[in-house]
Chain A
Amino acid sequence: MIPDHHAARAAELARAMAAAGARLPRDWPKELRPADPAAEPTRNKGEFRDG
C-alpha cells in the first residue's frame, strides 16, 4: 500500500517501531488479553467523585 518513493522512509520508521515493540515486556500470562481501557470503563475501579 505504501508508494515506492516512500518505501525507504517506511522501512526506517518500521524499524523504529519494531525497536519500541522489542522494549516492551513479553512474558505475560497467556490469558492476559489485550485491553482497551477507554472502551471498558467499568474495568477500572475508580468511582466518579464530583464533589
Chain B
Amino acid sequence: MSAILHTHCMQSGIASLADALAALEAGRITPDALLERCLDAIGRRNGALHAVLHLDEAAARQASAAPRRGALGGIPWGIKDTFDVAGLPATANSRLRAGRIAPADAALVSRLREAGAVLIGKLATWEYGTGTGAEHFDLPAPPARNPWDTTRFTGGSSTGAGVAVATGMALFAIGSDTTGSVRLPAAATGCCGVVMTPGRLPLDGALPNTFSMDRPGPIAWTAEDVAIVMDAICGTRLRAAGGAGVAGLRIGVLRDPGPGFPAPDGELASALEDGLAVLSRLGARIRDAALPWPAAMCLDAARLIGAAESAAIHERELRENPDVMGAALRDKLLAGSGVRAVDYLAAQRFRRAFTEAIDAVWDEHDVILSLGALHLPPRLGVEPESTAYTSETMLTPASLAGLPALVQCNGFSAGGLPLHWHAMARAGNETALFRLAMAYEAATPWRERRPA
C-alpha cells in the first residue's frame, strides 16, 4: 500500500514546479504537454483518491493553448472548493450549496490567472472547509484518500490539495488554513504547505470559516515551488532570499509539546533530530526554545474562537437546515453556538497576551522549529485517531498570533508515511522560513520520492 515509485514526471526530469518552469522556458515541454501529464494523473488516480471535486478540463485546455505569459505561465494548479471560480460549481462539499455556480473569481484566482497559471479545477474539502476531525462519510463527495496509504487520512480541511500535488495532478494548490487546514494536509501527504502573514493573500471570494483566523495558503511539492508561487502573486522575492542558506540563522527548537499534549510519535521525533543535525552542519545556530504558554492552551483558545465565529457566520444554516449538513459541520456549529461570551472573551484575551509575549521570542530566535502534528496520518474514519491527529498539534500558536508558518517533509516512516516538521517566524519574516526550508530540501533526498 505504501510502496514508493518515481513517477513518469520525475523520470522525465520534471518533479517540481521549478523543474516545469525551467523546461517550459527552455522549450523542452509545452504547456499543453504539461497539462496532459496532470490530466493523465487525474484520470488514473482520482477515481480512487477523490482529490479533484470539479475538473474543468475544457477551460484548462483553452488556457494552456493560449500564448504563454506571466511568472506562472502554463503551470497547472487547483484550488479548494471553498473559493469561487467564475462559472464553476462552488459547493464547499455541502448539500447546503448544491447547484451553486460562482458568479465571479475569488481575488486569489484572479491574481493567479494574471500570473498565467492554468486552473484544472476545484479540490476536495471538508464541508464548508471546517469540521471536528471526525469523518462521518455523509458528505456529497467521498473523502479524499492519502496516496501514500489509501486507508489513511489526507489531513484536513483542504483534503484534496496535498493529494493533488503529491500525485502530480497539479503542480501547486491553494487551500485555506484556520488552525492548520493547509499545514496538516501538507504534513500528511509529504508536501510543503505555508501560511503567510495575515493580509499577504486576499480572502475575498472565499467561503469564510472564521472572522479572524482564516488564511489562504499554498501547497506545493517543494518549498522553492511555494516561494515561486508567492513571488508571482505577493510581490515577494522569497525564492532568491530563501536561497541564502541557513548559515547564522537562529533556530529555536521545541521538542516537548508541553502539558496537555501526549509525547509525539517516535519516528516524527527522530526525524526532527536528524533534520536538526543537517541544519547544524549547514551552519544554523540551534538552541532550545519555549513558548510563552503551552500549545495545548493555544488549542483551547483557538477552538473557542473558531467554533464561536463559525457559528456566528453560519447561524442561519444551522437554524434552518441542521439536518441537511453533515454531522461534523453540525457538531462544530452546535459547539460554537454553546460558547459562553465570557469564554470567548477569555480566549481573545489569552490571544492578545500570547501574541504580545511571543514577540520577545524573536529577540532570540529567527525561527521556531517543532513538529506540526504529533502523530502519523491516522486511519481514515477511525476515531479517536483522527480527532487526536487534527487537534493535538503545534499549529495553533501561529494561528492565534498571526505568524507565518511552514510545514515541510523531513523523511518517511518505516511504513512509508511522510514525516514532517513545522517552522514559524515573526510576522513579516517569511524569508527566515524559506531560508530554512530551501536549504534543508536541497541537502536531503526526500523530494525524490513520490507515492506509487
Residues of A near any B CB (own CB < 8 A):
1-3, 6, 9-11, 13-14, 16-18, 20-26, 28, 32-39, 41, 43-51
Minimum Cβ distance to chain B for residue A14 (Å): 3
Q: A36 to B343, Cβ gap below 8 A?
A: no
Q: A17 to B236, Cβ gap below 8 A?
A: no
Q: B351 to A34, Cβ gap below 8 A?
A: yes
* 0 or 1 for each of B308-349: is its CB under 8 Å from A? (1 = yes): 000000010011001000000011001111111011111111
Interface majority SS (helix, strand, loop, mixed), chain A: loop
Chain A residues closer than 8 Å to B427, beta-carbon distance? 41, 44-46
Q: B318 to A37, Cβ gap below 8 A?
A: no
Chain A residues closer than 8 Å to B260, beta-carbon distance? 23
Q: A49 to B307, Cβ gap below 8 A?
A: no
Q: Once the chains are docked, how many angstroms separate the CA of A21 from the CA of B344?
A: 8
Q: Does B431 contact A (CB under 8 A)?
A: yes
Residues of B near any A CB (own CB < 8 A):
197-199, 211-213, 235-238, 240-242, 244, 260, 293, 297, 300-301, 303-304, 307, 315, 318-319, 322, 330-331, 334-340, 342-353, 355, 359, 362, 400-402, 426-432
Chain B residues closer than 8 Å to A16, beta-carbon distance? 335
Q: Once the chains are docked, how many angstroms separate the CA of A18 from the CA of B342?
A: 10
Chain B residues closer than 8 Å to A50, beta-carbon distance? 235-238, 241, 430-431
The residue from A23, A41, A45, A48 contacting B300, defined by CB atoms under 8 A apart: A23
Chain B residues closer than 8 Å to A47, beta-carbon distance? 428-429
Minimum Cβ distance to chain B for residue A32 (Å): 6
Chain A residues closer than 8 Å to B304, beta-carbon distance? 17, 20-21, 24
Q: A20 to B334, Cβ gap below 8 A?
A: no
Chain B residues closer than 8 Å to A33, beta-carbon distance? 349, 352
Chain B residues closer than 8 Å to A9, beta-carbon distance? 331, 334
Q: A6 to B359, Cβ gap below 8 A?
A: no
Chain A residues closer than 8 Å to B242, beta-carbon distance? 51
Chain A residues closer than 8 Å to B338, beta-carbon distance? 10-11, 13-14, 17-18
Q: B352 to A51, Cβ gap below 8 A?
A: no
Kindly name the residue among A44, A47, A48 whose own CB sees the greatest number of chain B CB atoms within 10 A: A44
13 further contact pairs, Cβ within 8 A, besides A47-B429, A51-B241: A9-B331, A9-B334, A10-B337, A25-B297, A25-B350, A33-B352, A34-B352, A35-B349, A41-B198, A49-B241, A50-B236, A50-B431, A51-B242
Q: Which residue of B lies closest to A22 (CB)?
A: B343
Minimum Cβ distance to chain B for residue A47 (Å): 5
Q: Once the chains are docked, how many angstroms separate the CA of A31 from the CA of B429?
A: 30
Minimum Cβ distance to chain B for residue A28 (Å): 5
Q: Once the chains are docked, how many angstroms separate the CA of A11 from the CA of B293?
A: 29
Q: Once the chains are docked, how many angstroms separate the CA of A28 from the CA of B301?
A: 15
Chain A residues closer than 8 Å to B400, beta-carbon distance? 37
Q: B343 to A34, Cβ gap below 8 A?
A: no
Chain A residues closer than 8 Å to B330, beta-carbon distance? 6
Kindly name the residue among A24, A25, A28, A39 whose own CB sees the greatest number of chain B CB atoms within 10 A: A24
Q: Which residue of A lies closest to B299 (CB)?
A: A20
Minimum-distance CB pairs A-B, first 10: A51-B241, A14-B338, A21-B343, A34-B348, A46-B427, A35-B352, A13-B335, A46-B428, A37-B402, A20-B300
